[in-house]
Structure 1
């Protein structure tokens, strides 16, 4: 067994070596959790936007504006023009059921940005709903 004088700084050195790895793991989990939350929010926004699109009255442009307003409100940002695509009721390949779809993407910034090169992530939402005749 070594005398205690020789081990006085060992714990500090071990902590200094492990701290960057620990911070990388903790902040990586925080960023991953926040990105996952944004993905779930985007999927929900797509569903609600498509519902608003389908229930709105008027021409296709007015219906798309109503759906886009719901998506922008739920996502918490104004998405760039052309990033939200509504597809009206159309037959699915193979015939039968007709569906309406909406899809959009946007770049999300990292909350912490601790990992170099991982400061943005593309978040997307997509929803599909059957049409009633």
Structure 2
């Protein structure tokens, strides 16, 4: 039985705890979304560099990277994807050289409290197989 002097204590405790719980829930959602975006960027960069190392086709590599990261909203565009040959500095892939694909992405948050966050995915592979 609640004494008359403690009648509002539960409401006050509820008012103190609920904002903390909501912020914790939103933080978990934002972190999981960022983690998923980073995993998508890494997979897209790996797929893009794989296509580039095998076929030396920048358009095909961009397409492969964009098709791999379908979960990103907004989607990747060609301007997000950069190619660099680590041995020559060019954007073409010669057999025996090392190629990297770097994908940059700006992740906006669902809540708008923080962000946007700059994210990067990078893949590297030896050209020609």
The two structures share one fold, judged by TM-score above 0.5: yes
Unaligned runs of 5+ in 2: 89-95
Aligned residues: 118
Retained in 2: the 8 A contact 1:89–1:131?
no
Runs of 4+ in 1 over 4 A off after TM superposition: none
CA distance in structure 1 between the aligned counterparts of 2:51 and 2:65, rounded to whole angstroms: 9
Unaligned runs of 5+ in 1: 92-96
CA distance in structure 1 between the aligned counterparts of 2:83 and 2:99, rounded to whole angstroms: 8
- 1:82 corresponding residue in structure 2: 79
Mapped pair 1:51 → 2:47:
no
Structure 2 vs 1, CA of residues 85 and 105 (structure 1 numbering), >3 Å: closer, same or farther?
Answer: same
Matches within 5 A, 1:1-133: 4-56=3-55, 63-76=57-70, 77-79=75-77, 81-88=78-85, 90=87, 98-110=97-109, 112-113=110-111, 116=113, 118-132=114-128
Describe the SS at the equivalent of 1:87. strand
